[in-house]
Amino acid sequence: MNTSPFCDGLSRRSFLRVGAASTLGAQFSLGGLLQAESAVKTATRGDVSFIFVFLRGGLSTIDTFDMKPDAPDTIRGEFKPVRTKVPGIHICDQLPRIGGVMDQFSLIRSFTHQNAGHGHADHYMMTGYHPTAAFNGSLTPNNEHPCMGSVIASKLGARGSIPPYVCLPTLHPSGSSAYLGPNAAPFTIEADPNSPGFQVPDLMPPLSIDAQRLEDRRGLLSKVDRFQCSIEQKANAAARDLGVFSQRAVSLMTSKEAKQAFNLQAEDEKLRDAYGRNTLGQSCLMARRLVESGVRCVTIEHQNWDTHYGQFPTLKDDLLPKLDNAISTLFTDLRQRGMLKKTLVVITGEFGRTPKISKEGGRDHWSRCFTVALGGGGIQGGRVVGQSDKIASDPADSPYGPEDLCATVYSLLGISPHDEMHTPEGRPVMLTNNGRVIKELI
């Protein structure tokens, strides 16, 4: 009789221990093991985690991080540049709190790539690979190549029982693992962290199912699941994936770290307010909690940045105040907890927006030049890398692209950008498509 519910031999016994610990709140704790482990290690491979704040639709960086006050009316925009904590760096007056932590992060003002369509540009920014002609952007996931979170998950693996890569609140269309398979796919929480009484759906069994009963069920399942670990499962990729995901689901639901990490209610109310009581703010807070408990990469997929129409009121009254609170609090919170050196934060959209303001009072897509903000995890704060031209139409110098961003992120996380990954057929693919580490930041 096969007593293991899993093909790799995690036994019922270990399941019982972990399950009991988590559901009964007993003393067994992977967190303790993790802390012990991390105390030994310092600044080595896999020490740094990554929070990717993706402002989907395209943040107007000409109105925020790279303002052009001397440009004509048709370009300049309604906001004013103001001084920040770092002498010589000016950003938008609508982001005063972010300006106050300018010393914590830096700006690449000469970021550029060649695709100004949402689906394609998303894929390019998330993976470092421009999609091919066969790309279907309307799919979720649509990955032709794995996104950064999946590469990180694949190269560094999980820290204990918590997933290495989480995408929140939902899956970004280009946020998946492509040929790296289910082990590198993100866990998505499928719920808004800002919703009242937020919890991750189905993370725990219903209250009526206690630990013993859950154990009984799993034990029974291992006996009746005749295709688990069978030659049929081996010959069918879809059935194999389900096996892997079931196993990971069990380790998640029996993980004390996971339960703590996802429990936003445990946070101080004032801190929750400071992040902002909105999806972006609470997602950033959740990201910090997840990184704190061992997640290696959190991608925050935040929408509504595609400001084609009447953008100034939208930015001023809605989007920028949220961004200001969320990002400034994230940097402050990470620093106060001593996590900033170990946590890389990147804030960007898939592209920027046109220098020229449209007839509809908005700006359209512009990938030829925009700004990427990034800090922590070994990035020197308070720097500006690269300049745009007079109207932020093109880089004036030091152009950097998605390949370089990937190379920099991997490098900071201790992964060589020159490393390879492999398709299931064994074909090697470079982690980055000739990306260069942006040395000026480090």
Partner 1 sequence: MTYGKFVSRPPVVCRVRFLFPLCLLVATPLGAVDYVRDVLPLMSRFGCNGSACHGKADGQNGFKISIFGADPAADHEAITRQSRGRRIMLTAPEHSLLLRKAAGEVPHAGGSRMKTGSREYTILRDWVAQGAPFATEGRAEIASLTVEPVERVMTFGQKQPLRVKAVLSDGTEQDVTWLAQFQSNDNAIAEVSERGEVTTGSAVGQAAVMARYLGRIAIFHAIVPRPGEAVAANAETFNELDEHVQAKLRKMNLQASAVADDATFLRRVTLDLIGRLPTVNEARAFLQSTAQDKRARLVDALLDKPEFADFWALKWADLLRVDRLVLDHHAAHDYHSWIRTAVAENRPLDVFARDLLTAQGPLEEQPAGYFFKVAKKPGEMAASLSQVFLGVRINCAECHQHPTDRWTQRDYHGMRAFFEQVSYKKAGGAEALIIQGNPQVKHPRTKEVVQPYALGTTMPESAPDGDRRAALAQWMTAPENPWFARNMANRLWAHFMGRGVVEPVDDFRATNPPSNPALLDALTRRLIEQKFDARALIRLITASLTYQLSATPNTTNENDTQNFSRAVFRRLPAESLLDAVCDVTGVPEKFSGVPANTRAVELWDSQQQHYFLKLFGRPSRTTPCVCERSTGASISQALHLMNSPNLQNKLAHAGGRLTQLVSMSDAQIIEELWLVCFSRFPDETERQQAMEHLSTRQDKRRQSIEDLAWSLLNTVEFVFNH
Region 130-159 residues binding partner 1, contact defined as CB under 8 A: 130, 132-133, 136, 138-140
Check binding of 232 to partner 1 (CB under 8 A): yes
Check binding of 368 to partner 1 (CB under 8 A): yes
Furthest C-alpha separation in the chain: 78
Coil vs helix vs strand at 241: helix
**Nearer residue to partner 1 within complex by CB, 82 or 242:** 242
Residue 202 near residue 223 (C-beta atoms within 8 A): no
Check binding of 7 to partner 1 (CB under 8 A): no
Check binding of 196 to partner 1 (CB under 8 A): no
Which one of residues 199, 245, 314, 341 is an interface residue with partner 1 (CB under 8 A)?
Answer: 245
**Nearer residue to partner 1 within complex by CB, 37 or 190:** 190
Residue 62 near residue 353 (C-beta atoms within 8 A): yes
* R_g of the chain computed on alpha carbons: 22
Interface segment toward partner 1; rule CB under 8 A; list 14-22, 31-39, 82-90, 200-208 = 200-208
Q: What is the spatial distance between Cα 433 and Cα 436, in angstroms, rounded to a whole number?
A: 9
| Axis crossing angle, helix 402-412 with helix 148-156, rounded to the nearest 10 | 30
Both tokens of 199, joined, read: 């919890």
Q: How far is the CB of 279 from partner 1 (least distance, A)?
A: 18
Check binding of 210 to partner 1 (CB under 8 A): no
Check binding of 420 to partner 1 (CB under 8 A): no
**Nearer residue to partner 1 within complex by CB, 228 or 279:** 228
**Nearer residue to partner 1 within complex by CB, 364 or 394:** 394
Which one of residues 26, 33, 43, 220 is an interface residue with partner 1 (CB under 8 A)?
Answer: 220
Q: How many CA atoms lie within 13 A of 49 on its CB side?
A: 26
Check binding of 236 to partner 1 (CB under 8 A): yes
Both tokens of 214, joined, read: 């859950």
Check binding of 267 to partner 1 (CB under 8 A): no
CA distances in angstroms from 17 to 182, 215, 226, listed in the order given? 26, 10, 25
DSSP string over 189-210: --S-TTSTT---TTSS--TTS-
Among positions 162-191, residues that touch partner 1 (CB under 8 A) are 163, 182, 185, 187-188, 190
Among positions 298-357, residues that touch partner 1 (CB under 8 A) are none
